[in-house]
C-alpha cells in the first residue's frame, strides 16, 4: 500500500457500505485500527470480519448517526478502547427518493437531512474535541458532485450535500488552529448500492430505462465510467494522511473529469 497508518485509530461511518468498506479495508491494510460504524449490523460485521481475517484490527459499533446518544456512544467506545481518534471518515449517507420537489415526501426530506447533515455534524461535534486535545487528526466528510451541481429529482440529497460542504468549510477553519484538518470529497457516480438506487429511482424498475440511465451517468464523465469504490477510498486515504498536511477546508471532486 501507499499509506502507513500504523498505530492510528480510524472511525468510518457507513463503514458497511460500498465506499466505507473499500476505505476501511485500505486503512486497516495500512495498519490502522478501524471502528466500523453503521446502522446495518450484517454488512458492518462482514467488513470487520474481512479485516480481522486479513490480520488487521476492527470492531463494529451499531449506530444511527442521526441519534446524538448513538454518536456519543461510538466516540465513547472508541476512546475507551483505543484512547484516541486520529481519523474520522464521516461517510454514512442516504439518497432518499428520486422524485420531483412537488411530489417529494416531507418525511423523506427530513430523514435525508438528518442522516447526511445532522449525522455529519454530530460526528464532527463529538470527535473534534478529542482531536483538538491531541493537537492532531483528520476528518473527511463525504459530500457528492450533487453538493456542487443541480440534480433533478434529488432535492433533499442535493441540499444535504451542499450543506456538507458548508459544514466542512466552517470546521476546516475552526479546527486548523488546533492541528486538525477537515476536508470533503465530491464523488460522481460510484459503483455501489447507492448508485443502483439512483438508477432504480429514475427508471422506476424499467430495465430499458435503467440501462439508458446507467449509460447517461457513465457518459457524464469524460472517462466514460463509474468510479470503483477503491478509487474514492484512495482519495480519502490521501486526505487523512500526512501527504495532504496543508490541505484544509477543501472539497476535492473525483468524477472522471
Catalytic sites, residue numbers: 157
Contacting residue, 129, 193, 206, 215, with ligand NAD by CB under 6 A: 193
Contacting residue, 168, 183, 192, 244, with ligand NAD by CB under 6 A: 192
Our finding on whether 96 is near ligand NAD (CB under 6 A) is no
- Look at strands 33-38 and 9-13 and give their pairing: parallel
144 close to 101: Cβ distance less than 8 angstroms: no
Give the long-range contacts of residues 152-155, CB within 8 A, separation 24 or more: 152/100, 153/98, 153/99, 153/100, 153/201, 153/202, 154/95, 154/96, 154/98, 155/101, 155/104, 155/109
Report the nearest approach of ligand NAD to the CB of residue 43 (Å): 6
Contact positions with ligand NAD (CB under 6 A) in 215-244: none
Contacting residue, 25, 47, 63, 123, with ligand NAD by CB under 6 A: 63
164 close to 116: Cβ distance less than 8 angstroms: yes
Report the nearest approach of ligand NAD to the CB of residue 186 (Å): 7
Our finding on whether 250 is near ligand NAD (CB under 6 A) is no
Backbone phi, then psi, for 51, in 5-degree steps? -65, -45
Taking the least distance from each CB to ligand NAD, the nearer of 111 and 169 is 111
Our finding on whether 141 is near ligand NAD (CB under 6 A) is no
Residues 244 and 194: their CA atoms lie apart, in Å, by: 28
Report the nearest approach of ligand NAD to the CB of residue 147 (Å): 8
Residue of 196, 174, 180, 182 lying closest to 120 (CA atoms): 182
Applying CB under 6 A, the residues found at the interface with ligand NAD are: 14, 16-20, 38-40, 43, 63-66, 91-94, 115, 119, 142, 144, 187, 189-190, 192-195
Amino acid at each position: 500500500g501507499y499509506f502507513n497508518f500504523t498505530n492510528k485509530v480510524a472511525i468510518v461511518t457507513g463503514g458497511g457500505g460500498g465506499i466505507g468498506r473499500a476505505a476501511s479495508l485500505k486503512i486497516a491494510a495500512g495498519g490502522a485500527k478501524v471502528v466500523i460504524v453503521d446502522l446495518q449490523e450484517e454488512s458492518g460485521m462482514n467488513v470487520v470480519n474481512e479485516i480481522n481475517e486479513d490480520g488487521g484490527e476492527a470492531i463494529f459499533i451499531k449506530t444511527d448517526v442521526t441519534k446524538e446518544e448513538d454518536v456519543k456512544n461510538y466516540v465513547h467506545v472508541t476512546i475507551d478502547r483505543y484512547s484516541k481518534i486520529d481519523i474520522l471518515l464521516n461517510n454514512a449517507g442516504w439518497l432518499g427518493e428520486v422524485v420531483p420537489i412537488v411530489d417529494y415526501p416531507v418525511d423523506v426530506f427530513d430523514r435525508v437531512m438528518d442522516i447526511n447533515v445532522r449525522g455529519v455534524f454530530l460526528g464532527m461535534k463529538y470527535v473534534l474535541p478529542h482531536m483538538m486535545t491531541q493537537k492532531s487528526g483528520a476528518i473527511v466528510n463525504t459530500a457528492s458532485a450533487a453538493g456542487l451541481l443541480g440534480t433533478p429529482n434529488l432535492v433533499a440529497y442535493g441540499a444535504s450535500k451542499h450543506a456538507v460542504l458548508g459544514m466542512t468549510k466552517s470546521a476546516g477553519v475552526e479546527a486548523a488552529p488546533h492541528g486538525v484538518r477537515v476536508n470533503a470529497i465530491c464523488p460522481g457516480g460510484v459503483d455501489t448500492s447507492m448508485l443502483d438506487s439512483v438508477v432504480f429511482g429514475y427508471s422506476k424498475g424499467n430495465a430499458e430505462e435503467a440501462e439508458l440511465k446507467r449509460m447517461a451517468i457513465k457518459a457524464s464523465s469524460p472517462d466514460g465510467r463509474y468510479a470503483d469504490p477503491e478509487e474514492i477510498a484512495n482519495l480519502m486515504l490521501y486526505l487523512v494522511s500526512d501527504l495532504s498536511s496543508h490541505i484544509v477546508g477543501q472539497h476535492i471532486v473525483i468524477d472522471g473529469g
